[in-house]
Amino acid sequence: LVLLLFCELVARVPWASPTPRAGDMVVNTIHWFRKGLRLHDNPSLRDSIQGADTLRCIYILDPWFAGSSNVGINRWRFLLHCLEDLDASLRKLNSRLFVIRGQPTDVFPRLFKEWHITRLSYEYDSEPFGKERDAAIQKLAKEAAVEVMVRISHTLYDLDKIIELNGGQSPLTYKRFQALINHMDAVELPVETITSEFIKKCATPISEDHDEKFGVPSLEELGFETEGLITAVWPGGETEALMRLERHLERKAWVANFERPRMNANSLLASPTGLSPYLRFGCLSCRLFYFKLTDLYRKVKKNSTPPLSLYGQLLWREFFYTTATNNPCFDKIEGNPVCVQIPWDRNPEALAKWAEGRTGFPWIDAIMTQLRQEGWIHHLARHAVACFLTRGDLWISWEEGMKVFEELLLDADWSVNAGSWMWLSCSSFFQQFFHCYCPVGFGRRTDPNSDYIRRYLPILRGFPAKYIYDPWNAPEEVQKAAKCIIGVHYPRPMVNHAEASRINIERMKQIYQQLSCYRGLGLLATVPANPNNGASGSNVAGVSTGTSQGPGGFSEDQSIQEGTSRTGTQARWLTLLLFKMYNAIKILTCY
């Protein structure tokens, strides 16, 4: 008996890896967590464990954090929570998480050798930077005779299949995307959660100094100042994510209403059932969410087919992933085939005021304050600040706004962030730009009580609701009574909104007129016709009412030297593409 015990102990020696002996097919596997920070619905991890002798789950703390060095404290904290949660869950399975510092291309060759690795698994990353990185790692794996297992579980579908269905092109409009989705095979079911039963044949060699060498770092260790940091409004981790999912579904069931929720003042605040950061980091499987929603709907609505709008949040995410996956320039203006080249202004001072919530417009400043403090803002709040920065007021490039969101917003990943910014600044095809969010009026209509402003901008608490959205218009007595003089305690508005929006809408109109070659007077018709609407392509051909084309009539581009202006070449390219697209889509069935 003692001998047996002894053998058992030796076999489970925590520091040594079983070395491959001649004739023995020992499988030592690494599972590489990047996103997909969960043990439920993790097919690559599951397949990796099958038939493996040892398992090590690693997370590589790439100093560049998946392509960007621009990460704020809330995002780091959320990530660390996720890693701690993973580590805790793995502990329950007699395993641990290994956090390794360095660049993947340096780390892997070392680990392959040290741990005698024969298998590597990870969840597929569809983003161009991810694909490039993974291609390099696959090459290294091949050289080290390591088997690579990749599975798709960060998106509902295989994005390449969607693109294939669209003739090899990423869909350019959301409607087109929805039409394609309708023709795709059903979403695959989420795979089962890893249990101790499943993993029992697979050991994890854990050393005594594991915490020192491979433990999850703290914020301080990463160099952050944590004094005065408020408790996380959005705690990270799979456990939290699954709890929130249950609450989210409970609330939906209770309301028994699957329509798009009406926006009210409360929606602006962080919700205990909000899921977007968890989906971004992969703490929550999008497929699990999808199927739980479907089940709930069928239960409440007695088995009818759920409409696509039920999955709105998930499908928008999927759409941006699909448009981004083959476009390494997706997050830029220059060289980006889906982005309209708009001559944005370069103004670092104005940008800083916006980013730091010092614009002088309480609605905008409150939103940016919430974003900085908590890491999440409601999607309509995002529209408001994005519009203000770009086409609405400041006329600053969406690339700048995207970088700020990247730093501060918990659920902003590369594809969704860039895609949303292009959409909101009307830099991508077929977006009507007439709708401008007023930095005073929109806020006032959303939250007439102004609780939101008071909460995030305490300096303005003394103002009555009548004046709080445009405090510069408040009479002196009111300002004195509120103990806040505009221009002294709170900045004056940085732009005249009426003037700015007047100029900017004119700019957008001129730019789009060049693109669509539209010569008429309508504002709506300047945007090239959306092929999915089936609206006549006549707008693109320039036929419309009230054409101002007398002899000597000044058409916008008459005096433009061909080729000098970037917009000129862009215009030609885009018009050609539009025609091609329009004809291609006429052939394929519409939604």
Partner 1 sequence: MKRGRTGLKSSCQAFPSQERAKRQKRGASSFAEDWGNLPHHVVLQIFQHLSLVDRARASSVCRRWNDVFHTPDLWRKFEFELNQPATSYLRSTHPDLIQQIIKKHAQHLQYVSFKVDSCIESAEAACDILSQLVNCTIKTLGLISTARPSFMDVSQAHFVSALTVVFVNSKSLSSIKIDDTPVDDPSLKVLVANNSDTLKLLKMSSCPHVSPAGILCVADQCHGLRELALNYHLLSDELLLALSSEKHVHLEHLRIDVASENPGQTHFHTIKRSSWEALVRHSPKVNIVMYFFLYEEEFEPFFREETPVTHLYFGRAVSKEMLGRIGLNCPRLVELVVCANGLEPLDEELIRIAERCKSLTAIGLGECEVTCSGFVEFVKMCGGRLTQLSIMEEVLIPDSSYNMEQIHSEVSKHLGRMWFPDMMPTW
Q: Interaction with partner 1 in 178-217: which residues (CB under 8 A)?
A: none
Among the listed residues 63, 145, 550, 587, the single contact to partner 1 using CB under 8 A: 550
Determine, following the binding rule CB under 8 A, whether residue 478 of this chain makes contact with partner 1. no
Among the listed residues 122, 124, 414, 442, the single contact to partner 1 using CB under 8 A: 442
Structure tokens at 174: 């959301």
Among the listed residues 222, 255, 265, 535, the single contact to partner 1 using CB under 8 A: 535
Q: Is 203 annotated as a binding residue?
A: no
Among the listed residues 29, 170, 323, 501, the single contact to partner 1 using CB under 8 A: 501
CB 134, CB 125: distance < 8 Å: yes
CB closer to partner 1 out of 54 and 415: 415
* Alpha-carbon span 287 to 93, nearest angstrom: 24
**DSSP H helices in 301-440:** 312-324, 348-355, 362-374, 379-387, 398-408, 414-424
Among the listed residues 485, 503, 584, 588, the single contact to partner 1 using CB under 8 A: 503
Q: Is 470 annotated as a binding residue?
A: no
Among the listed residues 525, 540, 571, 581, the single contact to partner 1 using CB under 8 A: 525
Assign residue 115 a region: left if phi > 0, alpha if psi is -120 to 50, beta otherwise? alpha
Q: Is 384 annotated as a binding residue?
A: no
Structure tokens at 316: 């928008």
DSSP per-residue letters across 90-131: HHTTT--EEEEES-HHHHHHHHHHHTT--EEEEE---SHHHH
For the CB of residue 377, give the shortest distance to partner 1 in the complex, in Å. 12
Restricted to residues 84-123, the positions that interact with partner 1 (CB under 8 A) are: none
CB closer to partner 1 out of 88 and 560: 560
Q: Which stretch binds partner 1 (CB under 8 A): 93-101, 134-142, 180-188, 316-324?
A: 316-324
Determine, following the binding rule CB under 8 A, whether residue 499 of this chain makes contact with partner 1. yes
Q: Is 573 annotated as a binding residue?
A: no
Give the phi and the psi of residue 29 in degrees, each rounded to 5: -120, 145
CB closer to partner 1 out of 272 and 312: 312
Task: Indicate the SS3 state at residue 179.
Answer: helix
Q: Which of 96, 104, 57, 62 is nearest to 79 (CA)?
A: 62
Helix axes 414-424 and 312-324, enclosed angle (nearest 10): 100
Helix axes 398-408 and 414-424, enclosed angle (nearest 10): 140
Among the listed residues 157, 297, 429, 437, the single contact to partner 1 using CB under 8 A: 437
Q: Which of 506, 515, 532, 329 is nearest to 422 (CA)?
A: 329
For the CB of residue 472, give the shortest distance to partner 1 in the complex, in Å. 8
Structure tokens at 130: 């991810």
Task: Indicate the SS3 state at residue 428.
Answer: strand
* Alpha-carbon span 241 to 275, nearest angstrom: 7
Determine, following the binding rule CB under 8 A, whether residue 379 of this chain makes contact with partner 1. yes
Determine, following the binding rule CB under 8 A, whether residue 436 of this chain makes contact with partner 1. yes
* Alpha-carbon span 419 to 427, nearest angstrom: 10
Among the listed residues 278, 395, 452, 469, the single contact to partner 1 using CB under 8 A: 395
Determine, following the binding rule CB under 8 A, whether residue 541 of this chain makes contact with partner 1. no
* Alpha-carbon span 415 to 330, nearest angstrom: 8
CB closer to partner 1 out of 116 and 383: 383
For the CB of residue 538, give the shortest distance to partner 1 in the complex, in Å. 8
CB closer to partner 1 out of 80 and 268: 268
CB 537, CB 430: distance < 8 Å: no
Q: Each residue of 443-470: b (16+ CB within 10 Å) or e?
A: bbebbeebebbbebbeebebbeeebbbb
For the CB of residue 48, give the shortest distance to partner 1 in the complex, in Å. 31
CA 457 from chain centre, in angstroms, equals: 27
Restricted to residues 62-91, the positions that interact with partner 1 (CB under 8 A) are: none
Residues in binding contact with partner 1, number by CB under 8 A? 82
Determine, following the binding rule CB under 8 A, whether residue 473 of this chain makes contact with partner 1. yes
Cα distance from N-terminal residue to C-terminal residue, the chain? 71
CB 296, CB 252: distance < 8 Å: yes
For the CB of residue 295, give the shortest distance to partner 1 in the complex, in Å. 20
Determine, following the binding rule CB under 8 A, whether residue 354 of this chain makes contact with partner 1. no
Determine, following the binding rule CB under 8 A, whether residue 559 of this chain makes contact with partner 1. yes
Among the listed residues 113, 299, 445, 489, the single contact to partner 1 using CB under 8 A: 445
Structure tokens at 387: 């519009």
Determine, following the binding rule CB under 8 A, whether residue 388 of this chain makes contact with partner 1. no
Determine, following the binding rule CB under 8 A, whether residue 449 of this chain makes contact with partner 1. no
For the CB of residue 507, give the shortest distance to partner 1 in the complex, in Å. 7
CB closer to partner 1 out of 23 and 550: 550
CA 356 from chain centre, in angstroms, equals: 21
CB closer to partner 1 out of 6 and 554: 554
CB 540, CB 515: distance < 8 Å: no
Residue 308 CB: number of other CB atoms within 10 A? 13
* Alpha-carbon span 516 to 531, nearest angstrom: 13
Q: Is 185 annotated as a binding residue?
A: no
Q: Is 460 annotated as a binding residue?
A: no
CB closer to partner 1 out of 63 and 563: 563
Q: Which stretch binds partner 1 (CB under 8 A): 22-30, 49-57, 210-218, 517-525?
A: 517-525
Determine, following the binding rule CB under 8 A, whether residue 441 of this chain makes contact with partner 1. yes
Determine, following the binding rule CB under 8 A, whether residue 480 of this chain makes contact with partner 1. no
Q: How far is CA 185 from CA 110, 156, 162, 373, 589, in A?
A: 41, 11, 10, 42, 17
Q: Is 3 annotated as a binding residue?
A: no
Among the listed residues 317, 353, 391, 519, the single contact to partner 1 using CB under 8 A: 317
Q: What residue numbers does the annotated binding site cover? A: 313-320, 411-413
Q: What residue numbers does the annotated binding site for FAD cover? A: 313-320, 411-413
